[in-house]
Structure 1
């Protein structure tokens, strides 16, 4: 019996589980243009509302992988391992982590994306480095993995093209939050890139897509099972995204903070999460005997960073762009920083020009927020809490409102919360 898009939409709308044949047909049809955007949008909404069984998610992911090519990394003479974060505010962990793990002996094929809305994008951050290019052809990708051990770049056109089309559609149809669609989107790209092992950083909190711990656990569990079903060793850490990571939020600002970590300094939370993820990645790659803290302190991770940036046309010694305008936020009362809301700071950075509302929009390399205090720290009236930076002064007032509201000073410090909440896998 022939399959039609309307039959598939109706089945999911009515709460039925889709068959393997229906899933294969609809993904193939959407990739080729046989299934129209409005039909896939209707199906995505039905999936959001009705959900999917594990079998359906696994088949949906497999069909998206099959829509394009799958990289073969068998010629890379190091164990391959990747990391993926579900996105947050100040989340520059990929920048120090990738060269660190490469310096420990693994190969890290890191396919990354751009920021949208309040969450920053790894490629936007790296593009603040003069000359650096996110476009790496497949042959050069594999060669750089062999020679340098680390690549951070955009996915090629041939990898999971069904996901590229569906991702853009979900963004404009209110279906981004669907766990089956998030899990299959992430895992189809990661599996197609050919890595043997994967560590997931699933964010939970005000600045994350997953606001509740139960949602985050379900997403992590789903992705771990998808990875294992495709013979990719997969584990996940649930990490807090109620407070921005580090002190810098913005593209060039986050590169500077990452360089501080690679030089042996940097904020304690960035170092803690970088090392925790590095240990998980090395264990998954069979290199658990290597101590990433020792490698970081030795300077070898910085050497790896410089080689990675130069391999993609970047100048690791070039000065980074600095925004033309700035504004200081000061404490109006004495006390302790009770909280810094990640969503509010992310929104402020976005309004300053560090992020984009649509994918085609350009971002400002120098724009963003520099925090001067962290939750739990004591402050006196008049102390600097944060600095806003923008290329245009007209962007500052709206950002100032969001950032000021995000930073709460109270008489007593709030109890500290753990950065790493749980491990799944």
Structure 2
């Protein structure tokens, strides 16, 4: 078997067998097949695609390239949720304690942020003392005891994906849906959960820019999960504007704490966009796990745990279990990092906010120190942006649209320029667009 024959076969639109894919991926991981040949294969996949069987085989081989997490000793159904990346996405911080309060087992491995998207691990590390480096035994024991643990991904998990992604990043093949799907699903499957819920973002601040692309990716990932024996579902949600109103690590923890407070659900006030998506995810996961009799019942039970304070209590316990100071729940302003400089970004015209482009806001927060462009960059936990006006809000000249938080103002002007791009104000009232745009559920539901 020769790599150039396999490249030619895929170039001509033919499917590769499991033996052929194993030869290619195994040879690449073991440095027996060079980068340039795998790059050629990836480009062939970009143009020719892969069959459903090829995608499942590729994902399985990537899973088998490294260690796999065995969660069998944890009783009950283990659940995991993955977002394809967005801005101000605090759903994991709220969803995980809700699911644990509902009796589900949340054993989650998460990554760090890169570019304009935030990473859950970085957000949690803004809590004083919070440990994301639990040993395997500590991780499993905590899930058994409290129903919830979250740690960083290990370097031994899916090394084939790590190597292949770095190659795709420099060969213009990142956008290949079969390669995106196998990358995401290999990590989720290797992490060991029984039920995988995918939140596929679409819009200005997401990787997928059109609904058609997002729907295809969702369908492909759900099919891979089914073929590899994992119960998998997906929702497609909008990322045209930031999901939350706080962008930045400690700021997003603050927002999560506020949204977990029972008083946020008193009266008839509208639920925030971040909570709309969180409740939709919770309802589906509870239903698919057999915990609730329907999605609507699952959503109601999730809200009940928020109103009762049970989800907040689980959040506090989660922090303390992983070495953090639970008092942050009571006084986030006191215990979370705070920026030395704050500055309002003001409206220069009156009207209604028509657009609030998530990508520009995310980049602005990153410039202030909240993100990293390279994996070894240091981030400022206190830096970020608080959105004071969102799409549909009426504004007058001089109103504060957003508040910048920073300790280092070196890129302040660039951040302000990006905010000027992000906000578009006009006279007419904009139409309210839905957050939940679609879903892909297992066929047997």
| 1:371 correspondence with 2:369 | no
* Cα offset, 1:216, TM superposition: 0.4
Q: Deviations over 1:6-49 (max 9, x none)?
A: 33333323333222111111111222222233333332233223
Q: Which residue number corresponds to residue 336 of structure 1? A: 352
Residues 195-214 of structure 1 mapped to structure 2, 5 A cutoff: 195-214=193-212
Q: Which residue number corresponds to residue 98 of structure 1? A: 96
| 1:355 correspondence with 2:371 | yes
Unaligned runs of 5+ in 2: 266-270, 329-334
Residues 51-130 of structure 1 mapped to structure 2, 5 A cutoff: 51-130=49-128
Look up the SS of the partner of 2:197 in the other structure. strand
| 1:383 correspondence with 2:399 | yes
Q: Which residue number corresponds to residue 311 of structure 2? A: 301
CA distance in 1 between counterparts of 2:24 and 2:199 reads 30
Q: Is the 8 A contact 2:115 2:366 kept in 1?
A: yes
Q: Which runs of 4+ in 1 moved over 4 A?
A: none
Q: Is the 8 A contact 1:329 1:387 kept in 2?
A: yes
| 1:191 correspondence with 2:189 | yes
**Stretch moving more, 55-64 or 138-147:** 138-147
Q: Which residue number corresponds to residue 410 of structure 1? A: 426
CA distance in 1 between counterparts of 2:38 and 2:55 reads 16
TM-score, length of structure 2 as denominator length: 0.91
Q: Which residue number corresponds to residue 292 of structure 2? A: 288
Q: Is the 8 A contact 2:56 2:228 kept in 1?
A: no
TM-score, length of structure 1 as denominator length: 0.96
CA distance in 1 between counterparts of 2:213 and 2:402 reads 32
**Stretch moving more, 15-24 or 259-268:** 259-268
Q: 1:274 aligns with which of 266, 273, 278?
A: 278
Look up the SS of the partner of 1:353 in the other structure. helix
CA distance in 2 between counterparts of 1:271 and 1:327 reads 27
CA distance in 1 between counterparts of 2:135 and 2:36 reads 32
Q: Deviations over 1:197-252 (max 9, x none)?
A: 11110001011000011100000000001111122111110100111112111111
CA distance in 1 between counterparts of 2:34 and 2:96 reads 39
Q: 2:413 aligns with which of 361, 383, 397?
A: 397
Q: Which residue number corresponds to residue 321 of structure 1? A: 337
Q: Deviations over 1:43-92 (max 9, x none)?
A: 22332232212111111001111112322222212321111110101111
CA distance in 2 between counterparts of 1:298 and 1:100 reads 11
* Cα offset, 1:93, TM superposition: 0.6
Q: Deviations over 1:175-211 (max 9, x none)?
A: 2211111110111111112211111100010110000
**Stretch moving more, 64-73 or 10-19:** 10-19
Question: C-alpha root-mean-square deviation of aligned residues, in Å?
Answer: 1.6
CA distance in 2 between counterparts of 1:38 and 1:310 reads 48
CA distance in 1 between counterparts of 2:5 and 2:320 reads 52
Q: Is the 8 A contact 1:51 1:180 kept in 2?
A: yes
Look up the SS of the partner of 2:326 in the other structure. coil
Q: Is the 8 A contact 1:78 1:146 kept in 2?
A: no
Q: Is the 8 A contact 1:129 1:316 kept in 2?
A: no
Residues 172-183 of structure 1 mapped to structure 2, 5 A cutoff: 172-183=170-181
* Cα offset, 1:397, TM superposition: 0.5
Q: Deviations over 1:100-153 (max 9, x none)?
A: 101110001221111111111111111111222222222222111101111221
Q: Which residue number corresponds to residue 137 of structure 1? A: 135
CA distance in 2 between counterparts of 1:351 and 1:15 reads 43
Unaligned runs of 5+ in 1: none
CA gap 1:153/1:286 in 2 versus in 1, 3 angstroms: same
Residues 32-51 of structure 1 mapped to structure 2, 5 A cutoff: 32-51=30-49
* Cα offset, 1:164, TM superposition: 2.1
CA distance in 1 between counterparts of 2:166 and 2:97 reads 30
Q: Deviations over 1:364-411 (max 9, x none)?
A: 111111100111111111110001122211121001000111011110
Q: Which residue number corresponds to residue 331 of structure 2? A: none
Residues 148-163 of structure 1 mapped to structure 2, 5 A cutoff: 148-163=146-161
Q: Is the 8 A contact 1:109 1:145 kept in 2?
A: yes
Q: Is the 8 A contact 2:199 2:236 kept in 1?
A: yes
Look up the SS of the partner of 1:126 in the other structure. helix
* Cα offset, 1:327, TM superposition: 2.4
